[in-house]
Structure formats: structure tokens, C-alpha cells
Structure 1
């Protein structure tokens, strides 16, 4: 079978790669063509565009890059027509994928959506597009199944969360070896996860590293994104007590004492590694003001959303400042706070449904297109 996958972000690259591996087990003749990243390319097939060329963050940024976005959409349609896949697999990334899936439905392609866009947070009206244009939807958050089926009468498959497999299947790292190999000393680590896009990294890191001098008994380590060159981070490394590793986020989290994390998938990854965290977000002011008016959620972090309570502190926009960050980091380094957070983390993992998300999804996709 011929599979055409579209992932537009680092997290989509990870989940796309694991899904491709699982599809290969189901279909020995699987042939892949995809939009994604380095992890998908390692699995095999033909990479069309890297997600680095697609990542525009926020309302204002999207508007400024509309010409590039529409150019990519038109190119994608022609590429699909040339490849003639048996199935299209969309991986989150709704702004782009929704335009392609509407066209694909009219052209008669089979459309499968892996990892639902967060229409439960905003743009709930997109459910009409999904019901019209998507053959099969695979959701990875437990509350999404109820949202789709009970609220909108659209059947979906809850397959579990693929991050659980990605984390448990990884090769374990020895703390002393990791520190030695990366020029770190023996002090406990506070991991800094500033995101993967240049715009958000710049906004987040300036404040994250501002507290490093107040916690001299710890060393602060930036988790460099695979989508960015090390040279991009150089200006942040002049601060004392701040170090850097690149493309080793999971290894870093596995030996960290605490973490300061930009809102997104990384908050869930940090929780699954059982690392106490402070969730941070500061975006373009115009984009934030627009988002505040259209997003109707009590929380921004997946950890709090899934458990429907405040497990991790969220510092958003003006609240994300040096004084507040120092206070909240001190709090999560306290043994009592840490113990309570660990209990919530175990509850979170249980709610996510265990292992096997990629395999579950691959079986369902292959079974559907065989018919």
C-alpha cells in the first residue's frame, strides 16, 4: 500500500515516525511519502518537505507568511496527485491539513486523521469539516472520544497516547555518563524546554535563564530543538550556570530534578518522565489577545486539561516573569510539593490508556484500507 503522511511539527514527526514503523509491521509492502522531519526520514520512504519550512506560530505570524503557506498547499495537492496514495494520513497540524483534506475528499482519496486537532479548545465549528471530509479519526486524549461521540455524534477511535511508547521504548541513559559527555557537573539539573520555533524560543529563554543565578546548587540545561542549529542558542549561553544539549530532550528529562517548560506537548512528556515542572507561555501580544477571546479553556497545559485540575502551575503572558518563575521553581523543588505532583502524574499516565497507540492505529488503518 502507498501511504502519504502530513506532519507539520516536531511532535508530529515523532508520532509519524512511530506510526510508520507500526505500519511496516502490518504491511510489508508499505511505501511512504511524507511531509515531516528527520525521525520520519530515518524510517524510510520519500520526504517531501521538512516541518522547519512549515512552522509559523500565532495569528500574526501566519498572516505574514500567507503567500508561502498557499504555495505549499498547492504544491502538496500536485504531489499527492502524482503519487496516487491508497490513503492520506493527517497528523494534527490543522491549518494546513484541513485545506488538503477538503480537496482530498472531493478527489476521492481515503482520509485518515491521526491525533485530532484541538477543536475542543477553539474553532469547534471545524467539526463540520471533519464529519464531511474525514473517513477515520484516531484520538489520543481520553476526553476527546466523549467530545466527538457524545457531543457531536461522530465515531472515533481512542488509541492511547503515543508518547507513552516513545518514552518507554527509548534506550536508558546513565546520569553520570550523560553529564560527563555533555560537559555538566555533578549538581542536579533543571531542564529548560523553550519550544521548537525560533519565535517562541527567543521569548521563553530570556525569562527562563533569568532565574539561573538564584539557584546555584542546580545547573540549568537548555534542551535544544532538533529543528534549530546550535548557533541560534549561542546568545543565551553567556549566562552563568546555563548549559546546552541538542536533540537529547528525553535523555535530559530522564535525569532532571525539575523543568521549566513551554506550553505544548512537552508538558505531557515532562509529566510522563515524572519531572516536576512549571508551565510557561508568552507569545506575540496581538496573537495572545486574539487567542484569549476565542479559546475557552480553564488550562493551557495538557497535564491539567486531562486531569481537569491544577496539577502544574501555569505562568501565562504577564505572569511569566522572573519573580513568579523563581517562586514557582522554589515550590516544585520542595519535597512535599514534589510528592503530591508525582501522585498526580501516575494518575495521568493511567488515564492515557497504556501502551500501544502506534500499533493500535496502524492495525486500524491497514484494516480499513484493505477493505
Structure 2
């Protein structure tokens, strides 16, 4: 790649978490390539602040679950073709697709077919280790290099015949200081006043399925701890839905908006009740004992009836810390097992100085070692390394 030649990079994301990854990647690439790099594609507010002129608002396509996808299918399909046309017209030096595989991978397939000379980097591996493992080999047709956030994923793709995969670390490895309490921020568990984090999910469908159960659970827990303080971090676009949903809770939570308030709550909390997802990894790194619950979309519930559990590396779990640690450290409840009385029983153990609480804290400490990059450094820099290598090979 010429030292002076302008470089154009297309980035396509489909939701807020992808926008955060995309923004950090843009910053790392700007640090490497300077003013000669420009960006095009699809992104959210963070990427736009760094100079990306997005094709449309990503809220058009940020949906999860078959029911929600079907309701907006026509606009999603239209946006796929709009995005493909725009990328072909821009003719970038590389296309980076970030997460949201139902959208971004459909874009990549069509770009590969119409412009096979454009290399494609996939950022965030679909969960082929959990279900639909055949996606790995199919992905190899239109993804040249894959950037994985979880340490076991390169080995999974090798076994499944997927694309060349690099573990670039999870963004959370850069946020240890924000997630972990300084002296005095988290009071001793022996104190009477307990602080409980409640995290019902970052998507509307998750909140709809869990908020009632979580409210009933809080009511039961508060009978044992009358001074219980509830902290509920909420993403801005779900604030009104959540405020309406908790209006009849027996204990009113403090609803927190914004990343800074969220991580301040993490540093204070003694335990957490959370939906399954990346937040379980945040809690694990913060050292907060948790119980995880999840109710799946009706389509996946039917799939689960055919294959009720999946196993990876000998672990039966949907919780990321459990999968990474290869043992069930965090208790989880799925579908019909999500019962307030059962969730209460676990939380009461985690909100006191019990062997169950200490065992989980001890288990979660091992996440640091498992998730660190081999040669240190930041996640975004490791991702930028691979993108620059692809540019050099195709330069």
C-alpha cells in the first residue's frame, strides 16, 4: 500500500453496540493512517462524530427476534440493497461489517457477488458455537478475515471450516478501571443496606419478556432486605418503556441513563439480576455475583424444544462467563424456569456473605487471564492491525 495513497474504508453496523466498536476502530485506523483515510457506510452517532456520513438511521434495522424482524422485513430488505448499492458506488479499499449478522452479512454476500475485488473483514463472530454451526463454513465464501471478541472463537472456526479468525479481545478488557470499584465505592457485604443491579436487557423485546418477572422478584427480595436499593441502568431509547413498566413495582428502582452512570452503579452493586447477553460479561469483570435469566423468541423456543441445550467445551450454558471459563459459575434460568421465587432464592444467597457468593466471586476472577490479549495492547488496536494487514495485502 502506497505511503501516500488515500485509503477509503467502508464500515457497516446494525445497532448501538456495533457503533461503539466501529467508532473505536475508526479512531485506531485514523491513528495508523492519518488524514489519508476516509470512511463511508452505515453507523450511529459515535461513528458520525468521527466523520462518517451514514446512509440512514440505524434504528431502521436495529431489531432482534424473528417476530420483530418479520414486522419490519420490507424496510430491512430495502435498506440492505440501498447499502450494497452505496458501497459498490464508493468502491472502498476494504469493507468492514460489524455484528448484526442478519443485516451486515446479507450486505457482505451481495457486495462479494457484485464486487469480488473488495476484501471483507467481519468484526464479531456470530454465535456458531451455540447454534447453526453451518454458518461458519458458509461465511468463508464472503468474509476474508474474521475478528473475534471471545477467546475460544478462533478454535471454533478452525474446527468448523470458517474464515481465518483472529482473537482481538473484547472491548471490555479496556474498561477494567471503570468497571471495578475504588476503595469505599462498594460497601462491605456485611452492611445491612444492600445495592442490587437490575438489567432487563438493551432491546425492547427483552424488556417486554423480563420486566414483570424481575419486578415480582424484587418484591420478594425486599421482604428480606427492606432497605434494598435498586439501580436500573437503561439505554436511552428504552427509558420511557422501562419507566412505564416499573411504575407498579413494590420497590421503585433508580433508573440510570448513560454509560457513566451505569458503570458507577456497577462499582457500587453487591449483586445483580440480569438478562443474558454481554452484560453478564461486564458484571463478571466487575466481580459482581449475578443470576441470569432469559426468555427467548417463540421461534427459538420451538428450536429449543428440538435441541433443548447446546454444549461447548463441556459446558451447558447460555451465559458468556460460563462459556469462557468452561464451567458453570453463574446460575441461569431460561424460559419456563424464570420464576420469581427461584430468582429470589439465588439472590438472597448472593446478597449475603455466603459460600455461594464467594464461590462465584472466586470463579469470576479467572476472566482476566482468559480474556487478555497474548501480547497485551488494546482491543481496538488489535482489530486495526488486521484491517491494515488486509489493506497491505490488497494494496
Q: Out of 353, 366, 370, which is 2:388 matched to?
A: 366
Structure 2 partner of 1:183: none
2:349 to 331, 343, 355: 331
The unaligned stretches of length 5 or more in structure 1 are: 179-185
Which of 133, 152, 156 lines up with 1:147 in the alignment?
156
Contact 1:212/1:241, CA 8 A, preserved across alignment: no
Bigger shift: residues 196-205 or 208-217: 208-217
The answer to which of 321-330 and 5-14 deviates more is 5-14
Q: Distance in 2 between matches of 1:175 and 1:197?
A: 33
Q: 2:103 aligns with which of 87, 96, 112?
A: 96
Counterpart in 2 of 1:130? 139
8 Å CA contact 2:176, 2:285 repeated in 1: no
What does residue 217 of structure 1 align with? 227
Distance 1:53 1:187, change over 3 A: farther
Paired residue for 2:244, among 235, 253, 271? 235
1:247 paired to 2:266: no
What TM-score do you get using the length of structure 2 for normalisation?
A: 0.84
How many Å apart are 1:40 and its aligned residue?
Answer: 2.7
Whose radius of gyration is greater, 1 or 2?
2
Classify 1:285/1:300 alpha carbon distance in 2 versus 1 (closer, same or farther; 3 Å). same
Q: Which residue of 1 aligns with 2:75?
A: 68
RMSD of aligned alpha carbons = 2.5
Q: Give runs of aligned pairs for residues 36-51 of structure 1, distance below 5 A.
A: 36-51=43-58
| Alpha-carbon distance, 1:356 to partner | 1.6
Structure 2: state its 5+ residue gaps: 1-6, 187-191
For residues 171 and 46 of structure 1, the distance between their equivalents in structure 2, rounded to whole angstroms, comes to 32
Q: SS of the counterpart of 2:55?
A: strand
Q: How does 1:81-120 map to 2 (within 5 A)?
A: 81-106=88-113, 107-108=115-116, 109-120=118-129
The number of residue pairs the alignment matches comes to: 362
Q: How far apart are 1:299 and its partner, in Å?
A: 0.9
Partner residue in 1 for 2:337: 319
Are residue 168 (structure 1) and residue 176 (structure 2) matched?
yes
Contact 2:157 2:165 in 1 (8 A): yes
Question: Which secondary structure state, in structure 2, belongs to the residue aligned with residue 349 of structure 1?
Answer: helix
Runs of at least 4 residues off by over 4 Å: 169-178
Asked if 1:261 corresponds to 2:274, the answer is yes
What does the per-residue CA deviation read over 1:293-339, in whole Å, with 9 as the maximum and x for residues that have no partner? Answer: 36734211111111121111111111112111111111222323222
C-alpha contact 2:41 2:83 (8 A) present in aligned 1: no
Q: Using a 3 Å threshold, how does the CA distance of structure 1 residues 250 and 48 change in structure 2: closer, same or farther?
A: farther
Residue of structure 2 aligned with 1:18, choices 9, 21, 24: 24
